[in-house]
Chain A
Amino acid sequence: MGEETTSLGSIHISPTAVATIAYHATLESYGVVGLAPKNIAEGLAHTITREPTRGVSVNYDGDNVDIEINIVVEYGTRIASVANSVANTVRYHVEKALGLRVNSINVHVAGLRVSDTD
């Protein structure tokens, strides 16, 4: 994906690279305490390969990048705002780093973490 031809050859950007950027951007977003694998199979695969893209999937149809992120949010934060800033942060970082246009970012709140009781 993200193919570009220069005088020296061509540059390919793989969906995994995009996913890695999205993954790190997500973890730096406030309110996110983790990413969740989409399903058991993906969870297992990532445990074995240790690829840093757990909970992020990237789709590329030739023009647009679509990103799905499964997050775990800290209990007690405003979830809509947190999810919103994840989408904004990820979009900003991916577009800045790769110059690719991000078509959509879907943020799924897979769970909440209760780190203490009020």
Chain B
Amino acid sequence: MVVDSPETQKRLEKFRKAPMDGQALKRLVEAGLTWLRTNQQTVNALNVFPVPDGDTGTNMVLTMQSAYNEISELGHRSVDDMAAAISQGALMGARGNSGVILSQLWRGFSRGLQGQEVLDGPGLVKAFAQARDTAYKGVVRPVEGTILTVAKDIAAETEAGLKPEHDAIHVLEMAVKAAAASVERTPELLPVLKQAGVVDSGGMGLHVILEGMLRHIYGQSLDTPVASVQPLSAMDFESAMQEVEEGQDFEVVVDFYPEGELNLQSFYGKLEEMGTSIQVGEGEGMYRMHIHVPLENRYLPIDYVMDIGTITKVAMENLVAQMDEIDQKAKGDYFELTNVEPGQIAVVTVSPGPGLSRIFASLGVAAIVEGGQTMNPSTQEILAAFENLPTDKVIILPNNKNIVMAANQAKEVTVKNVQVVPSRNIPQGLSALLALDPDGDVEAVAEKMNRSLDLVKAGEITVATRSVEIDGVRCEQGEVITLLDGKLVGSAKSVEDACLRMLEKAGAKDLELITMFYGEDLNATEANRISDKVRKAYPDQEIEIQDGGQPHYQFIISVE
């Protein structure tokens, strides 16, 4: 981090003069959260399993968000009270493994600040030490090379490096440095990380939070993931679309090979002068740059990149027109859910995409919860979907093995007669729905649905976010991978090869109906082209193609 610019020095002096009280801590937490959210995709991309699992980055953001919500309105002056409230908020919103650990870290942190009015150097060191101790108490066999190790290293380094003249900012600087070094070391401690070629995602998340706090003190921007290069597959232009600013009319994407080493600092610096929503990705020496620029600047990024390397491809889109298209598409997502009468059975289902929601709705579903692989709905969300329906008989189809648990919890906490039919994927959910008889006996219908689950085979086609070997199947980053009933069964260079491979593994030759739901990454033409190939390979089978609209998965295929 650059700290020697005159503005940064001035800002630092200002910070040093003001006491670090509860309000200052609040702003630091907000900065940590903002910076984490900015880098959420980068953290998510570190997940060890090669399908987009969403986990760590998203879970940590949600936990930090809950912590910040708790304090955003608070006027506490003392850091003691403020930290206690942060800890409370983090506990309430803790999601996933990394979220729980993060909430424990905050709990220890707040305990270390007990009785402190303002944050000083020794106080912060004590808080880091308490955070480590509390976090380690929560597990019998701590796994090293995770967020726990990073917390331990932060505590150890700050303890060792503390000098009498140090204030909280000095200690925070030490902590960020220690965290960065510790994250780099995680693959040495945890073989599964080394095998996958990544650092630990939770540890990275913790580093990002602390770094965000420091960036706030230095007055550096928290909106653009500065000078970071992500894997090509992790680049997310969709989310960039949501933050299109007034006047930034054009999206420019340039693929290039830099001449010599690319100086990221100056590269980002230059791009920031031209526009916003900057992302840089890298894969096998090829760089891809993404930026939103105003109309008159639309050729600037291309000219600039031409100076530093060889351009292989340029894509330019008019964002205004694109936004209209998205609005249009959103209007087409309208669908009508079935109205249930008192005494009838209501089916609640989880759907990852608008197209699938429409199909579910047409099959008689009474409520739809949005969610899926990347965004598991909470028990609360599932509960809210059926609590207000006018009937007591409810069947839940989770359609994802990670959501079955939340569905079962929803069953526990409601007074309604809820049956969970544990569908583990979309095809199972659709197959179960065919057994629905709204006026039947709820237990009997659920039983019938249960039996129909295994009548269908489910294939999923997605792109590996990183090279990895699982279940003896090896796949390279960027390759298309095939999952059959949740298991990795093969990888291929193209989506169509992956589809054919999956169908072969599923034994489609001996079955009758193949239904292919294409995801939001494909358009109808592309999907039809692939389904034609499948039709050629399986002339005896009936093949249907549907717009599923799910994210991340190019195809969800049902074979029965």
State whether A31 and B141 are in contact (beta carbons under 8 Å apart), knowing that A78-B91, A78-B94, A84-B405 are contacts in the complex: no
A74 within 8 A of B: yes
Query: Contact partner of B138 among A77, A84, A96, CB < 8 A?
Result: A77
Interface of B is mostly: helix
Q: Mark B94-117, 1 if CB is under 8 A from A, else 0.
A: 111101110110010001000000
Q: Say yes or no for B379: interface residue by CB 8 A criterion.
A: yes
- How many whole Å from A91's CB to the nearest CB in chain B? 7
B17 at the interface (CB under 8 A from A): no
Measured between beta carbons, the chain A residues less than 8 angstroms from B313 are none
Q: How far is the CB of B47 from chain A (nearest CB, A)?
A: 12
Which residues of chain A from 1 to 49 have a CB within 8 Å of any chain B CB?
Answer: 24, 27-34
Query: Which among A33, A76, A82 is the interface contact of B107 at CB below 8 angstroms?
Result: A76
The range of chain B's interface size is 20 to 34
Question: How far in angstroms is the closest Cβ of chain A from B38?
Answer: 24
Min CB distance B499 to A, Å, is 24
* A61 CB to nearest chain B CB (Å): 14
Within 8 A of A (CB), among B363-416: 379, 401-402, 405-406, 409
Which of B91, B100, B402 has most A Cβ within 10 Å? B100
In the bound complex, do residue B401 and residue A91 qualify as a contact, i.e. CB atoms below 8 Å apart? yes
A23 to chain B, nearest CB (A): 11
| Complex alpha-carbon distance, A89 and B137, angstroms | 19
Contact of A81 among B99, B107, B401, B402 (CB under 8 A): B99
B425 to chain A, nearest CB (A): 13
Chain A: number of interface residues, binned into ranges: 20 to 34
Query: Which residues of A have CB within 8 Å of B138?
Result: 30-31, 33, 74, 77
A91 CA / B107 CA spacing, docked (Å): 29
Instruction: State in angstroms the CA–CA spacing of A82 and B405 once bound together.
Output: 12
Which one of A34, A77, A91, A96 lies within 8 Å of B100 (CB-CB)?
A77
**B422 to nearest A CB, angstroms?**
7
**Cα separation A110 to B22 with both chains bound (whole Å):** 38
Inter-chain contacts of B406 with A (CB < 8 A): 84
Known contacts A76-B104, A78-B103, A99-B471; is-contact A30 B405 (Cβ 8 Å): no
A37 to chain B, nearest CB (A): 16
Q: Are A33 and B139 in contact (CB under 8 A)?
A: yes
Residues of B within 8 A of A82 (CB): 100
A91 (CB) vs chain B CBs: closest residue? B401
Question: Assuming A76-B107, A91-B401, is B101 touching A30 (CB within 8 A)?
Answer: yes
Contact B137 A74 (CB under 8 A): yes
* Cβ A81 vs Cβ B141 within 8 A: no
Question: Is A85 at the interface (CB under 8 A from chain B)?
Answer: yes
Q: List residues of chain A with CB within 8 A of the CB of B379.
A: 80
How distant is the Cα of A84 from the Cα of B402 in the complex, in angstroms? Answer: 9
Cβ 8 A contact of A29, one of B92, B97, B111, B409? B97
B94/A104 in contact, CB under 8 A: no
Cβ-defined contact, A27 with B140, below 8 A: yes
Q: Is B143 an interface residue (CB 8 A)?
A: yes
Interchain CB contact under 8 A, A85 and B94: no
B92 x A28 contact (CB < 8 A): no
B97 contacts A85, CB within 8 Å?
Answer: yes
Chain B, Cβ-Cβ closest to A106: B408
Chain A residues whose CB sits within 8 angstroms of the CB of B140 once the complex forms:
27-28, 32-34
CB distance from B285 to the nearest CB of A (A): 33
Annotate A83-103 by CB proximity to B: 1 below 8 A, 0 otherwise. Answer: 011011101000010010001
Q: Which of B100, B134, B470 contacts A78 (CB 8 A)?
A: B100
In the complex, chain B residues whose CB is within 8 Å of the CB of A27:
140-141
In the bound complex, residues from chain A placing their C-beta under 8 Å from that of B95 are 81
A31 to B135 Cα, complex, angstroms: 9
Residue on A nearest B376 in the bound complex, by CB: A84
A96 CA / B379 CA spacing, docked (Å): 27
In the complex, given contacts A81-B94, A84-B96, A84-B406, what are 17 additional A-B residue pairs having Cβ atoms less than 8 angstroms apart? A28-B140, A29-B139, A30-B100, A30-B139, A31-B138, A31-B139, A32-B139, A77-B91, A77-B100, A78-B91, A78-B100, A80-B409, A81-B96, A81-B97, A88-B405, A115-B137, A118-B111
4 interchain residue pairs of minimum CB distance? A78-B94, A74-B138, A85-B97, A27-B140
Residues of A bordering B, CB below 8 Å: 24, 27-34, 74, 76-78, 80-82, 84-85, 87-89, 91, 96, 99, 103-104, 115-116, 118
Task: Give residues in B with beta carbon < 8 Å to A.
Answer: 91-92, 94-97, 99-101, 103-104, 107, 111, 134, 137-141, 143, 379, 401-402, 405-406, 409, 422, 470-471
Can you name 8 A-B pairs with beta carbons within 8 Å?
A: A27-B141, A31-B100, A31-B104, A77-B104, A78-B99, A85-B100, A87-B405, A91-B401
